[in-house]
Structure 1
Amino acid sequence: MRITSRGIGLLITGVLLLVGGIVFGYPELAAIGVAAALAVGMSLAAGLLRPRLEVGRAIEPDRVMRGEECRVTLEVSNARPWGSLTVVGEDYCGPRPVPIPLVRLRPGRKTTVSYRVPTERRGVVQLGPLRVGRRDPFGLARVQRPFGETGQVWVYPYVHPIAGVPSGSSRNLDGLAERVPHGSSTFDSLREYVPGDDLRHVHWRTSARIGELMVRERVDTSRPRIVVLLDDRTAVHHGDTFEDACEAAASVVAAATRADLSVHLLTASGTSLPVAADSSGYLDVLAEARPHTDEELGQNGLAGIAERARQMQAGDTLICLTGRAAPEDLGAMMALRGTYATIMIGLFGPQQGPGADAGFQVIAARDAAEFAQLWDGIWS
């Protein structure tokens, strides 16, 4: 609650009249000053009466691709059984307020307002709460209170169409990297039998030895496993290169899931997400992603991230998406050639020298759209 400029002026005038009336012996001036101060006090007291408003919020849809349409609809109703309300509100859409002009609400009546959420930038847009302001009839005081619940809109990075993904190499249990025909499988482990298992997969020798039915678990070695590493360090990104890296990551993961490949999304800040073929959870992660400083990460360049990728051994193809990579960063990627059969580096923004002849494929692109074109030229 705050006093308006009109209220401040009236209060100062009233105090001056009161003091002047007392000092110079004019009771009429003092009475006028007291009346002015009382008017301001009554306006403040009126603002303490909290209006009974019910606010409903509908977001359609709450997850959109960058540039797509998203609207918020607010339904505001006067729940008081008596007395009309004239209110003006503003809803917060991210850091900026959106003015919501509300009509005069009679008891039990409601009004509906709608506005468009800006989706030009990737990220999570925080919505609300709706703040409703009231003024007294004389405009001396103004109070603003929050009503209703808040909401969120996930703005996904734009997914560029990509024609193909690397076929990769598959690793058998002996640790050898080899290409295998589609549909082949190999033994992975033994587990207890559960109703519904195919009896042809029962390992009878082990079952006889331990006294319980044991079933062979087999894995499809023909499915390449791809690790997408998003470098979210502030030091390597300039301008919109981080946004381009997020779009490239979304495009690669989307193409891999369409091809029914196993994908693992990894970020320098610590996110490790295995992506299911029918899941879009990786888009939530990419919408929430932000650059991190070296102090936040607590590790030395890309070397620490590469060590995490080595320990994971989550795939046979590693795709690293970064900004302006330093020579030591490329060296850290070179050290992974014994762990990953295929390594690709995506560099965004102006480069001083990508080091393309470093034992792995390098795509240097100005933005995500050019990255998709260069990618198709290699893998389609």
Structure 2
Amino acid sequence: MKITSRGIGLLVGAGLLLLLGFRFGYPELTLLGTAAAIAVGCAVGVAAWRPRLQVERRADPDRVGRGEPATMALTVRNGDRFRSANMIAEDQCGSRPVPVPLLRLRPGRDTTVSYPVPTHRRGVVPVGPLRVTGRDALGLVVMARAHGEVAQVWVHPRIHPLSAVPAGVARSMDGRIDRVPHGSITFDSLREYVVGDELRRVHWRTSARIGELMVREHLDTSLPRLVVVLDDRAAAHPVLVDGVAETFESACEAAASVVAAARREELPVALVLVADPGGGGDFLDRLAAAELRTAPALARDVSDGDPFGSAATAGPAGDPLGAVLNRLRQQRLGDTLVFLTGPGARDDLGQLGALRPAYPSVLAAVFGDLVPAPGETAGVRVLDVADGAEFASEWDGVRRW
């Protein structure tokens, strides 16, 4: 609750009138002071009334690509049985307030307001809560309250179409991708027999030992498995324009493009962020929520919440990239690794050479570096590109992985 300057003046005046009236015996002044005090008290009571508003939000759609249109529909219903709602309200859409008219909203009625959600920047746009401001007729007291929950609109990075995909290290079972003359499926585990399984897959020795039919489960290792590593360290993207690192935005677009191409070809793909290597959820949602992190925060995350496993062997504190690369080398999440970074991490590319024994194909893309670099560093193919569109062009130009 906030008393306006008019209310403060009236309250001070009421005190002076009451003091003078009682001190010098002027009943007229006492009456005026009492009336002013009653007016302030009534204003507090009117402003303190809490309307029973029911707020619903619906984003159409709630997940969009950067630059695509998105609309938020806000429905406000007056749940009071007797009083009409007549107040000032505004919804918060990101950093922009949106006025919502609630003039003479009768009991049991509702009103709907639709407005566009800004999608010119990648990120998660919070929408809400509805902020309702109540005030009395004289403008003496103002009280603001929040109604409804906060909704989110996920703005995904822009996706550039990629026509080429890396080749795997074994023969593709359906003939799509072939790199070696031999290869098939690999034994993975045993499981219980279910109706419909082929009898030739029954492992009779194990079945006889445990008394139940056990079936061999095979894993197709012929398709390429992609690992996309996004460097979200603030030191890797030092140039900011209006608080935004365009090189990091381009790296996010490249990561989204690779993930989309892998999904189109139904290829296994893993996304690893240097600052948050074990985050879950949809890949595009993770890219929408990705932010640059400073070195102290990165060192704390690696030591306290190492998602790859024990942090004891994760690497030295303050070197999150080394810790992530060390885990990638140990776990071997795939056969093709794509490292996306900015101009501030040029000197870190040499660390990727240690991944060659675990990942036969390693490609690094450096965005926005003004100094050209050789096409290969420590056995790693390096692409120097300006933005996501140029990355897509250079990616399709890679003939040999």
Q: What is the CA-CA distance between 1:310 and the residue it aligns to?
A: 0.8
Q: Contact 1:180/1:222 (CA < 8 Å) preserved in 2?
A: no
Aligned to 2:272: 266
SS in 2 for 1:46: helix
Cα deviation per residue 1:160-210 (whole Å; 9 max; x = unaligned)? 111111113249xxxxxx934698323333333233221121133443455
Counterpart position of 1:371:
391
Deviations 1:313-336 (A, max 9, x none): 010100001112445411210111
Instruction: Return the alpha-carbon distance in structure 1 between the equivalents of residues 369 and 131 of structure 2.
Output: 45
Amino acid at match of 2:294: T
Residue aligned with 2:119, SS: coil
Give the distance between the partners of 1:115 and 1:165, measured in 2 at CA.
Answer: 40
Partner Cα distance (1:236, 1:323) in 2: 5
Aligned to 1:282: 283
Q: Give the Cα–Cα distance (whole angstroms) in 2 for the partners of residues 17 and 283 of structure 1.
A: 66
In structure 2, what is the Cα distance between the partners aligned to 1:80 and 1:270? Answer: 47
| Residue identity matched to 1:307 | N
CA distance in 2, matches of 1:105, 1:327: 60
- For 2:78 and 2:181, how far apart are their aligned partners in 1? 68
For residue 175 of structure 1, what is the aligned residue in structure 2? Answer: none
Q: Are 2:362 and 1:356 aligned? A: no
The one-letter amino acid of 1:372's match is: A
Alignment partner, residue 335 of structure 1: 354
SS of 1:194's partner is coil
- The yes-or-no answer on 1:319 pairing with 2:320 is no
The reply to whether residue 33 of structure 1 matches residue 33 of structure 2 is: yes
Aligned-pair CA distance for 1:22: 4.7
Matches within 5 A, 1:144-223: 144-170=144-170, 179-180=179-180, 184-223=184-223
1:23 CA drift (Å): 5.2
CA contact under 8 A between 2:275 and 2:320: conserved in structure 1?
A: no
Percentage of matched positions with identical amino acids: 54
Query: Which moved further from structure 2: 33-42 or 223-232?
Result: 33-42
CA contact (8 A) 1:318 1:344 kept: yes
Q: Which residue of 2 aligns with 1:47?
A: 47
Q: 1:325 to 1:190 in 2, by over 3 A?
A: farther
**Residue in structure 2 matched with residue 137 of structure 1 by the alignment:** 137
**When the two structures are aligned, how many residues end up with a matched partner?**
370
TM-fit CA distance, 1:96: 3.5
Structure 1's 33 and 366: CA in aligned 2 closer, same or farther, altered over 3 A? same
When structure 1 is superposed on structure 2, of 228-237 and 299-308 the one drifting more is 299-308
Q: What is the rounded CA distance, in whole Å, between the counterparts of 2:324 and 2:199 in structure 1?
A: 44
TM-aligned CA distance change 1:281 to 1:355, over 3 Å: same
Please give the root-mean-square deviation of Cα atoms over the aligned residues, in Å.
Answer: 2.5
One-letter identity of the residue aligned with 2:251? A
Contact persistence 2:298–2:320 (CA under 8 A) = no
Q: TM-score, normalised by structure 1?
A: 0.89
Relative distance call for 1:337 and 1:107 in structure 2 (3 A) is same
Instruction: Confirm or deny: 8 A CA contact 1:351 1:364 kept in the other structure.
Output: no
**SS of match in other structure, 1:103:** strand
More displaced 10-residue stretch of structure 1: 369-378 or 240-249: 369-378
Q: Could you say which residue in structure 1 is the equivalent of 2:313?
A: none
- Find the aligned partners of 2:192 and 2:288 in 1 and give their Cα distance: 41
Unaligned ranges ≥5, structure 2? 172-177, 240-244, 300-317
- Inter-partner Cα distance in structure 2 for 1:190 and 1:97: 58
Task: Specify the code of the residue in structure 2 equivalent to 1:289.
Answer: A
Equivalent position SS for 1:361: strand
**Match in the other structure for 2:304:** none
Moved more, 327-336 or 243-252: 327-336
Q: In the alignment, which residue of structure 2 is the partner of 1:242?
A: 248
Among residues 262, 277, 290, which one is paired with 1:256 in the alignment? 262
Is this contact kept in 2: 1:74–1:113, CA < 8 A? yes
Relative to structure 1, is the Cα distance of residues 20 and 354 closer, same or farther in structure 2, using a 3 angstrom cutoff? farther
Aligned to 1:277: none
How far residue 102 of structure 1 moved from its aligned partner, in angstroms, is 2.2
Are 1:308 and 2:314 counterparts? Answer: no
User: Structure 1 184/251 Cα, relative in aligned 2: closer, same or farther at 3 Å?
Assistant: same
- Partners of 1:192 and 1:111 lie apart in 2 by 58
Asked if the contact 1:168–1:342 (Cα under 8 Å) also holds between the matched residues in 2, the reply is: no
Going from structure 1 to structure 2, the CA distance change for 1:302 and 1:119 (only over 3 Å counts) comes to same
Shift of 1:126: 1.4
Superposed CA deviations along residues 95-127 of structure 1, whole A, max 9, x for unmatched, are 443222222112222211111111111111112
Q: Tell me the distance in 1 between the aligned counterparts of 2:184 and 2:103.
A: 68
Query: Which segments of 5 or more consecutive residues in structure 1 lack a partner in the other structure?
Result: 172-177, 275-279
TM-score by length of 2: 0.85
Residue 139 of structure 1 and its aligned partner are, at CA, apart by: 1.5
Hey, what's the Cα distance between the residues in 2 that align with 1:205 and 1:77? 68
Match of 1:224 in 2: 224
